[in-house]
Amino acid sequence: MRVKLCTLLLLVTRLGVVLSSSDDAPRFLREPPQNAVFTNTTGITIDCLGEGTPSPRVSWTKQDGRPLEEISGLVRVLNNGSLEFSPFPGVRYNPRLHEATYT
């Protein structure tokens, strides 16, 4: 079984933050791909890595703006900000999770 395309859109904002002379604006070290395709037997880790001062914090939201909810054994956000879709049995396929747009 192939899981359909997971389209990822990345939005990074830094609203209301005044940079001091010691601040280094956030920048991407590794941006996520615009599209990610994976099967239920392989899973995928989608990297979103950045650096800056202060250290940027990565969070993932659904297309409607709600925060991504981690689901044990299916999807989680790693400590480094990467999004991980674990391999899973076909019966756990969920189109609202696996055919989604994430920001």
Cis, peptide link before residue 54, omega less than 30° from 0: yes
* Rounded mean pLDDT, 39-60: 91
Q: What percent of the chain has pLDDT over 90?
A: 43
Spatial contact of 76 and 70, defined as CB atoms under 8 Å apart: yes
Determine contact, residues 8/35, Cβ cutoff 8 Å.
Answer: yes
Q: Give residue 103's pLDDT.
A: 86
pLDDT tens digits, one per residue of 68-91 = 999 999 999 999 899 999 999 999
Residues 20-31 have pLDDT tens digits of 455 688 888 888
pLDDT digit string, tens, across residues 2-11? 433 333 333 3
Banded model confidence at residue 54, pLDDT cuts 50, 70, 90: confident
pTM comes to: 0.72
Buried b (16+ CB within 10 A) or exposed e, 42-70: eebebbbebeeeeebebebeeeeeeebee
Q: Give the whole-angstrom CA distance, residue 66 versus residue 24.
A: 29
